[in-house]
Chains A and B, each alone.
Chain A
């Protein structure tokens, strides 16, 4: 394998990020793609899905003690996989696991890592991985290379690409390896877990209504909530709104919040700081309402309305109520 993606597992099933990483990998190095999977057991057929979706080689370590991420065993497994299979590139998801595992392992291997890449490409001249990410609070983009250290490592945001689609009959090799018990040493002992069902809702929503500082005060939120409910949309917010405490952090969209890829995005009083755009620019259809005709979100909008949110939203709600359910 030339490129290794880090698959992620929860409750014995592969998480979508695994297949999103395959989409990235297929654009970079088709035919030379590996996948590393650590788990405490998988449902039948899960590893075959990785092959069907683009992996040529799957490395699977299974043990009861690999069920939950711990830096020491997971770090050891990634270091060993790199030693054995010598990938030039390692790609992981910018998830709570990936954001901890990859930097930990990168330091063990004394190599570099670029977080939260929005674009990945191969430099034609040198064959190096070009890692592009927002920098300085998202005000600029930086392209980064790792010229002399291997592997070249990067994380990408969950939901920043669609998952790879399976090709029936696609062939690949699956290595089921037993992890050595020496890896099972850690400072951390898991005492208990409680599943959360927090607004994955927002990340997975087909429609989102997003409020920015332009809604002026939290008293204006009820009309926005009504609009969201009429549309069957999730409610999101910019960092400014969350920092003011008008909506919880779980609503925050952008570089330091969630990434969304909805069918419909409606930005109300959202100026469109690049830090926010980084979390929503892949939305299929974008509406922006803002009094400031220079608002940056307008440059991205399919429908831009220069006007006051507090006029537009009540009028739209009235219209949608009239028109019946969508």
Chain B
């Protein structure tokens, strides 16, 4: 029986994200916010552990703007037991260290938890740093890139994949584990799940309630500073061939064939 925390993030759908060409910033309007798809694997791992060990509970925790409540309701609809939203303007501008500091305080405030599950990274920031930073701040064990997580008598067993090998670990709790796609898909919420989630009120806490000092969070608590944002320009001046009929196809394929054989330097 474990008390599991699931960390989820609401992200812009990077596949449809539009950029303002002039300012180089993201156009937020009309761009659907979604649950970070990689966090749903962590939810799947949490629900599997709960199914295997009755009495295990799953608390979904997110830090974000008020409408990040939607992401938490999605987790509730899919089977999480509880949710907590950390919402505070003072948290704006937090880098990964400040974010990890805030989430560690949230875990302490609503815990103690035996196991913290995360996705391997969020698709907007793409850093994957917050999980390991929380483990260090909280003094938890840490396993990243887990393909499977199973409960055992004294803790958990985890399979972790690296570039070189598949490792099997026995991990003492409390621990933070980030999971990969390999744990499987969580599926869709049931109608009942959706209805229950809609009626739930998601508790919201601010950073003062978590006992955080302003100097440790937000911009002030962030060691890193974004000093410049730009659109990448990476242009080569190559040959361009247009195919519009049989003859142009044939000549393009001739050029292509010699190019791929290395006979022609463009």
Contacts and interface: CB of A to CB of B under 8 A. Distances in A.
A231 B157 CA distance: 43
A190 B160 CA distance: 10
Nearest to B133: A107
A300 B232 CA distance: 12
Indicate the member of A190, A193, A277 with the most B CB atoms within 10 Å.
A193
Interface stretch (B52-60, B71-79, B83-91, B94-102): B94-102
Given A71-B135, A134-B232, A140-B19, A304 B143 contact: no
Contacts of B126: 115-116, 134-135, 137-138, 255-256
A153 B34 CA distance: 30
Indicate the member of B129, B175, B223, B243 with the most A CB atoms within 10 Å.
B223
Contact of A308 (B128, B181, B243, B253): B243
Interface string A171-208: 00000000000000011111111111000100000010
A302 B237 CA distance: 7
Contact of B235 (A112, A146, A300, A307): A300
A215 interface: no
Given A103-B96, A110-B97, A137-B126, A316 B256 contact: yes
Contacts, number: 269
Interface size class of B (residues with CB under 8 A): 35 or more
Given A107-B132, A256-B123, A10 B164 contact: yes
Contact of B228 (A142, A293, A311): A142
Indicate the member of A110, A111, A286, A326 with the most B CB atoms within 10 Å.
A110
A68 interface: yes
Interface of A: 10-11, 68, 71, 75, 95-97, 99-108, 110-116, 130-131, 134-149, 186-196, 200, 207, 231, 239-240, 249, 255-256, 264, 266, 274-275, 277, 281, 285-287, 293, 298-308, 311-312, 315-316, 319-320, 323, 326
Interface of B: 12, 14-15, 17, 19, 24-26, 95-97, 100, 121, 123-137, 140-145, 157, 160-173, 175, 181, 222-232, 234-236, 238-243, 248-250, 252-257, 259-262, 265-266
Given A139-B17, A298-B240, A302-B266, 14 more contacts: A10-B164, A96-B145, A100-B144, A107-B137, A137-B12, A189-B172, A191-B169, A264-B260, A274-B232, A299-B235, A301-B240, A306-B240, A306-B243, A326-B261
